[in-house]
Amino acid sequence: MGVSENNAHYGHRLRVYRKIGDVIYDEVYYLTENGKPVTKKREREIRALARARDRELLAMQKEYQQEMETANPIKFHSDGRIVGLTRQQQQNKGRVVDIFKLRIRLPDGSISWGSISIDLHGFDRAFDMALDRIVEVLGINRRTKIYRKMKAAKKAY
């Protein structure tokens, strides 16, 4: 959220608010002392302190997000589906084709695309092929907990 300014009946203040993981940092910097406004010089110092703290928390937040992305490259929707793996129907020359569409975000930020035909391979085989492609591209070990969770996501499709 960053730095916000509030002017309430109990004092003019700056609020620095960031959430990093499960920890919420909510810090208040008052621009009043004993009910009276601080001097302009002191106000500039307090504003500089609040901005510096916000930059520090922002750096911590970005570092945490990068750690989470590298530790767990696979995300899941609330209904259990894998983010980047969708089941779609496409029309091809007047007929409807059922496919799994892949959109895998690589660690370097680029995206790998692909599709696997459910009509051609059957649902179970196509799903396994899609998982194999995700595992291959992202370098995930098949013996990990995340791979088992991906396999369990089959019922969501």
Average pLDDT, the chain: 88
Is pLDDT above 90 for 41?
Answer: yes
The answer on pLDDT for 10 being more than 90 is no
Residue 1's pLDDT is 65
C-beta neighbour count of 32 within 10 angstroms = 14
Position 47 pLDDT exceeds 70: yes
pLDDT mean over 117-135 = 93
Q: pTM, whole model, 2 decimals?
A: 0.56
Measured torsion, CA atoms of residues 48, 51, 53, 56, in degrees rounded to the nearest 10? -130
pLDDT at 94 over 90: no
Average pLDDT over residues 39-58: 94
pLDDT at 107: 76
